[in-house]
């Protein structure tokens, strides 16, 4: 029998027994330092402190590397023996992250069947939903929050905190997301209205963040509110990473 690794990977990707699947390839490495330099000035990467309120200066809302390491450290704390709160104990091996084109998420449908959503940041199938408890967004009264996936990555993390004697790199997957926020309108089944969301200002501390793929419930369908119009009618946005030139003022969450 001929061993075909690609066949095994394809079977794993289709398996309904796993929560999600992101490829193991490292064919698309991104040097983080070079990436930050090439996107200098992009508000999705680093907000200029002049636009930040004084009480936020200790922790800039958008700081790609700092936020990423805080996110990874929080997940590492779930491992036995990890104790430190110092992000300097999180080392990204070779200062690289590895990009993936798609992520597959399995979920249970309303008729108790297994189905799969494929998320691709380069297409309209780029939105996901998570339970509100999985992320502190500060929106009470909402069971779910929604995010647009800007990138699918993994990094090889070396943790040097106290209690950990094994410096073998740990593969950690993450999604770079731009969160939606709910509007003030209240929706319900009784009024036959859909939830409405919009993108918060880019200087908001919850605008961009990193998400553990394990927290994703499934993909979701976000529909522009065409009546409200585009946020930038002239087609000029602020962020190339976020692609905000195509933003609409409001969106509907399709149920």
**Alpha-carbon distance 46 to 241, whole Å?**
11
Q: What is the pLDDT of residue 127?
A: 97
Domain that holds residue 246: 5-254
3-state SS of 189-254 is: CCCCCCEEEECCCCCCCCCEEEECHHHEEEECEEEECCCCCECCCCCCCCCCCCCHHHCECCEEEE
Q: Where are the beta strands (DSSP E) in 18-102?
A: 20-21, 29-31, 90-100
Q: What order of strands is seen across the sheet that includes strand 103-108?
A: 20-21, 103-108, 114-119
**Alpha-carbon distance 156 to 94, whole Å?**
8
Q: Which residues of the chain have pLDDT under 50?
A: 1-3, 5, 7-8, 48-59
Backbone phi, psi, residue 245, to 5°: -65, -20
Q: What is the pLDDT of residue 211?
A: 97
Number of domains in the chain: 1
Question: Please, what is the end-to-end C-alpha distance for the chain in angstroms?
Answer: 47
**Alpha-carbon distance 254 to 20, whole Å?**
22
Q: What is the pLDDT of residue 196?
A: 92
SS3 content of the chain, % helix, strand, coil (to 5): 20, 35, 50
């Amino acid at each position: 029998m001929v061993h075909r690794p690609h066949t095994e990977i394809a079977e794993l990707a289709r398996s309904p027994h796993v929560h999600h699947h992101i490829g193991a390839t490292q064919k698309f490495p991104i040097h983080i330092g070079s990436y930050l330099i090439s996107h200098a000035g992009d508000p999705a990467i680093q907000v200029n402190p002049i636009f930040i309120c004084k009480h936020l200066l200790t922790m800039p809302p958008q700081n790609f590397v700092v936020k990423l390491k805080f996110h990874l450290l929080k997940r590492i704390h779930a491992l036995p023996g990890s104790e430190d709160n110092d992000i300097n104990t999180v080392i990204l091996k070779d200062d690289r992250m590895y990009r993936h084109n798609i992520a597959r998420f399995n979920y249970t449908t309303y008729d108790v069947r297994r189905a799969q959503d494929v998320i691709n940041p380069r297409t309209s199938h780029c939105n996901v939903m998570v339970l509100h408890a999985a992320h502190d967004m500060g929106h009470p009264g909402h069971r779910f929050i929604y995010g647009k996936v800007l990138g699918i990555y993994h990094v090889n993390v070396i943790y040097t905190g106290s209690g950990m004697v094994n410096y073998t790199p740990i593969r950690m997957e993450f999604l770079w997301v731009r969160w939606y926020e709910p509007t003030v309108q209240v929706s319900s089944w009784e009024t036959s209205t859909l939830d409405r969301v919009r993108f918060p200002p880019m200087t908001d501390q919850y605008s961009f963040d990193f998400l553990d793929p394990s927290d994703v419930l499934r993909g979701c369908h976000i529909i522009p509110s065409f009546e409200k119009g585009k946020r930038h009618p002239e087609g000029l946005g602020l962020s190339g990473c976020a692609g905000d030139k195509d933003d609409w003022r409001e969106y509907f969450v399709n149920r």
